[in-house]
Structure 1
Amino acid sequence: MESGRCSGPALLEEINRHPCYNEEAHRYFARMHLPVAPACNIQCRYCNRKFDCVNESRPGVVSEVLTPDQADKKVRGVAAQLMQLSVVGIAGPGDPLANPDRTFETFRKVRSGVPDVNLCLSTNGLTLLEHLDVIEELGIRHVTITINAIDPEIGSRIYAWVYDNGVRYEGKEAAELLISRQLAGLKALSERGVLCKVNSVLIPGVNDVHLPEVSKTVKSLGAALHNVTPLIVAPGSPYEQEGQRAPRPKELHALQEICGQEGMKIMRHCRQCRADAIGLLGQDRSADFTWESIEQAPPLNLEAREQLQASLDEKIRQRQQRRRGPDPEIIASDSSEAARFITRVAVATRGSGKVNLHFGHAQEFMIYESDGFTVKLLGVRKIQSYCHGRAECNGDKEATLREICSILGDCQILLCSGIGDHPRKQLQRAGIVPIVRKGDAENLILESSRYSHYFQNHFNSKG
C-alpha cells in the first residue's frame, strides 16, 4: 500500500475477523447491518430503494428502518445469541453519511454496548471529507466507498443526480463533484490508517472497459481491497426502463482478473447483501432475530464471545496452512495428466467452508479453480433455486434448470449434498459432473479436481 499505516502484520490483524475483507473469515465470522440511514444524497441509475421487500436480496433493501435506540437494542440481543458476530456495519438503505446524526449516534451506542465488535461504514463518499474526525474518534476501522468511475463522462451515465448543500447537480457536473469527493476521501482515510475497500458495480457497455483504471487509481490512493460486483438492475430503476443488461459471470471473472493484475487485492466472495443482513455471508439470518427473540435473549457474555471467536481464529490459521499447498518442486515433478488439468468447480454450501447443501435448494454457487494441488476462489454466482420444496415447485423448473446449466456452463464439476436424477442428467448433458459428497469443501475440490480428466473422458465417451 502506497499510503497509510495499515500494511503487513497490522493489516492482517485488522482484517482477521472481518468477513468482507478476509476470504477465510467469511466462513466463520458473522456481520450485522443496521438499517438506520434511509436518506440518500445521490441517485444511481441502477438503484430503486424499497424498505418493505423481504424477498429481495440486494443493497438498499430492508424490511424495517431502525432508530439508533432500536439498533442498539438489536445489536445487544443478536451479539448475545450469535457468538461469532464480529462486525457491525451501517450501509443504508440510503447513504449513512447523508444521515450523519443517526449513523454516528448508532455507532456510539454500539461501541458502548458491545465493545468487542468491529465497526464498519459503507458510503458513496460525497460527504466523507466532512466526517473524517468523527470516523477516527469512534474507532471505525473499515470504510467501504462505492466508486463506479473516475471519468466524469462515464459517471454521468451512472448517476442521475447529486444533491449537495442544498444544490442539485446533474450530468457531468454531478459526476465530477462526486468523483472528486470520493477520491479525496479515500486518500484522506487511508492516510489516517483506516482500512478502505472500494466497491465498483460492473455495468456492461458503460464502465466495463474503464474499471481497470478505477482499480489502479484507488490502489494508488490506499485502498486495501477492490470489490467488483455485477450490476443488479433494480425494479423500477432508470436502467430497467432503458433495458440495461447485467453482466454474465464470465465477464465479471475476466474483469476481476484484469483488475488484479496490477497487484490489487480483489474481493471474490461478495454477496451484495441487504442493508439489514445478519449472519454469515450468503446465510442471512435476519428473519431469525425478531423483536420477540431479542427480548428473550440471554445477557451478553463478552468472555464467552471471545473464547468462541478465538477458536474460530485457530480454524482459520489451520485452513491457511493447508492452503499453502505442497512445495512447487513437488508439483513440477508430477507430470501426470491430472496435475496439469485446471478444473472449475461449483460448490453448493450453507457456509462454514462445507459442502452441505442440496442442489435444488441452492440460490448461489461458490466457484473455484483447482489444479489438484491448490484451490482458488473465483467468485459467487447467484441463481434461481431449482426447488424450494414441494409446495413451491410449480414454476417452470425446466427453464430454471436450463438457466442454471448456462450459468455454470464453464464448470466441469458440481459438488452438493444431494441432487435429483433429472437435474443430474441435465447437468451431465451440459458437461458438468455432479458429485454428491458432504464435508470440507476445499478437500473435496482437491480430490475431485485430481480426477476431473477421468470424469470428463468418461461422460464424453457416453455422449
Structure 2
Amino acid sequence: MTATLNVPTINFEQHPCFNPKVKGQFGRVHLPVAPKCNIQCNYCNRKYDCVNESRPGVTSTILSPSQALSYMEKVLEKEPRITVAGIAGPGDPFANPEETLGTMRLLRDKYPDLILCLATNGLGLKPEYIDEIARIGVSHVTVTINAIDPEITRKVYRWVRDEKNVYQGRKGAELLLKRQIAAVTGLKAAGVTVKINCIIMPGINDHHAVEVAKKMAELGADLFNAMAIFPTAETPFEGLTEPDGLTMAKIRKECEQYLPQMRHCTRCRADAVGLLGADQSEEFHGCLIDCSKKLIPVDTKDRPYVAVATVEGVLVNRHLGQADQFQIWEKTEAGFALVEERLAPEEGHGFERWQRVADVLKDCRAVLASGIGNNPKQILTQCGVLPVETAGSIATGLRAVYNGEDLAKLKGEQPAVGALGADSCGT
C-alpha cells in the first residue's frame, strides 16, 4: 500500500521550478549523488568535471550522501534563499536508490522545512521507493516521458536496463512506458506533486508531445515541461536542430489544453545551485569539490574496516587496478590490526569491474592505493567506499581515515622508512 506524503509545515509556494512567480526570490541546489543510469538516451552525454557546459547530465564531481549534507550546509550559509534541494543525476536517482534515499533522509532530518525534489526517468521508481519518499517527505518529483507510443519511444533510447537485463527496441520501450505510467500513478496516489518533462526532438516526437500531455493529465500529473532538445556532441542525436521559440510556443499552447505549462525551465546541470536564470554553480564550484574530497565519519557498525592495496603489508604501494588482493584493517583500542586478506575480483573492463571491487569492500569505509583512476573513484565513492591515493605508510593512511584528517595531503606523502611504528599496526 502506498504511503501518504508526510511532511512538516513547508511553504511549497517557494519552489521556483513549480511556481514561476518566485523564481527570482528563491533558489534550488542539485546534489550530484546519482552517477549510474539505467537507460541510454540518444540525446544524452553524461560528463564529469565539466564547468563550461550548462545542461542536464553534467557535473563537476560526485558526492556521497554525507558529503551532500556537508555541501548543503555550506550552500545555505552563503545563500539562504535556497529553499529546494533536489537530485537530478547525473544519472538517474533510482539507478542509485541507496544514495538517493540516504541523501533525502539526511536532508529531512537536518532541515525539516526544506523542500525536497527528485527528477527521474521512472524506470526504477518501484512502489517501495514511492512509499519511502512519501515517508521522508519528498514533495515534488519530475518524470521525463518523451512519448507514450512504443514505436516513438524506441527511437529515443539505445537501451533500457532492468536489474541485470538489458532491453533494446520495442521491448525496452514497452517496459519503460509501463514503469513510467505506474510511477506517475503511484506518486499521485501518495500525494506527491508531479511534473512531466518531455524533450522535444524534431522529426522524432515533436508531433506527439500533445498526446503525452493528454495521457499524463489523465493520470493526474500537475505540470508539463516541454523542453527543446539541446543537441549534444558525441550522441546519436547530435545532428538534430534545436526547435526555435515559435515551434516551442506552439507545442506548449497545444499541450496547455491538458496541463499547465512550465515556461521558465533553464535546463539545469546536475550540480546546479542558485536562483533560476542566475546560476551560481561557478561560485560554489570550489566548495563542491572540497566537500567531495572530505571524509565524513561513517558509523563503524556499517563500515568498520579500511582496505589497503599493498605489496608487503608496510607501505601503500600498489595501484588499485593492479591489486590482486587487499589487506583489510580495523582500528582497535590497541592501535590498528590486520583482519584478513581478500582476493580482488578478476581483471575486467568498465563499470562491472569496479562494481565488483566495491562489493568485495562493502564493509570498508575507504580503500588506500598508490593510484586510482577516475572511473573507479566515481564508482567506489557512490558505493560508499572512499578512494584514497597515498604513497606513504599504511599507518599514516589509516590514521588519516579514522581520524577524519585532510586526505588531500596524503597524495604527496612519501613512503616511510622502517616498520609501522608507534601506531601498533601489527597483526
> Structure 1 regions of 5+ residues with no counterpart?
297-463
Question: Which residue of 2 is the match for residue 80 of structure 1?
Answer: 77
Aligned partner (choices 137, 140, 160) of residue 139 of structure 1: 137
Please say if residues 27 and 275 of structure 2, whose CA atoms lie closer than 8 Å, have aligned partners that are also in contact: yes
1:217 aligns with 2:215: yes
Question: Which residue of 1 is the match for residue 251 of structure 2?
Answer: 255
Please say if residues 57 and 89 of structure 2, whose CA atoms lie closer than 8 Å, have aligned partners that are also in contact: yes
How much has 1:281 moved relative to structure 2?
A: 0.6
What is the correspondence of 1:254-333 to structure 2 with a 5 Å cutoff? 254-262=250-258, 264-290=259-285
CA deviations 1:165-193 (Å, max 9, x no partner) are: 21100011111100110011101111111
Question: Which residue of 1 is the match for residue 97 of structure 2?
Answer: 100
Higher fraction of helix: 1
CA deviations 1:247-268 (Å, max 9, x no partner) are: 1111111100110023x10000
Aligned counterparts of 1:17 and 1:93: Cα–Cα separation in 2:
24
Aligned counterparts of 1:18 and 1:86: Cα–Cα separation in 2:
7
Letter in 2 for 1:179: L
Tell me the secondary structure at the aligned position of residue 245 of structure 1: coil
Please say if residues 35 and 91 of structure 2, whose CA atoms lie closer than 8 Å, have aligned partners that are also in contact: yes
Question: Which residue of 1 is the match for residue 51 of structure 2?
Answer: 54
Letter in 2 for 1:285: Q
Aligned counterparts of 2:19 and 2:170: Cα–Cα separation in 1:
36
Aligned partner (choices 178, 182, 185) of residue 184 of structure 1: 182
Letter in 2 for 1:186: V
How much has 1:14 moved relative to structure 2?
A: 5.9
Aligned partner (choices 27, 42, 45) of residue 45 of structure 1: 42
CA deviations 1:423-456 (Å, max 9, x no partner) are: xxxxxxxxxxxxxxxxxxxxxxxxxxxxxxxxxx
Distance 1:161 1:148, change over 3 A: same
How much has 1:113 moved relative to structure 2?
A: 2.1
Aligned counterparts of 1:238 and 1:224: Cα–Cα separation in 2:
32
CA deviations 1:32-65 (Å, max 9, x no partner) are: 0000100000000000111122111110100111
Letter in 1 for 2:188: S
TM-score (norm: length of structure 2): 0.64
Aligned counterparts of 1:136 and 1:222: Cα–Cα separation in 2:
17
Aligned counterparts of 1:44 and 1:290: Cα–Cα separation in 2:
27
Aligned counterparts of 2:37 and 2:248: Cα–Cα separation in 1:
27
Please say if residues 188 and 221 of structure 2, whose CA atoms lie closer than 8 Å, have aligned partners that are also in contact: yes
> Structure 2 regions of 5+ residues with no counterpart?
292-427
Letter in 2 for 1:29: F
TM-score (norm: length of structure 1): 0.59
CA deviations 1:96-144 (Å, max 9, x no partner) are: 1000111111111111222221100100000112411111111000000
Letter in 1 for 2:141: V
Question: Which residue of 2 is the match for residue 236 of structure 1?
Answer: 234
Aligned partner (choices 91, 103, 107) of residue 88 of structure 2: 91
Letter in 1 for 2:18: Y
Letter in 2 for 1:167: N
Question: Which residue of 2 is the match for residue 198 of structure 1?
Answer: 196
Aligned partner (choices 108, 113, 117) of residue 114 of structure 2: 117
Letter in 2 for 1:122: A
Paired residues in the alignment total: 285
Aligned counterparts of 1:175 and 1:113: Cα–Cα separation in 2:
39
CA deviations 1:79-104 (Å, max 9, x no partner) are: 12211110000000000100011111
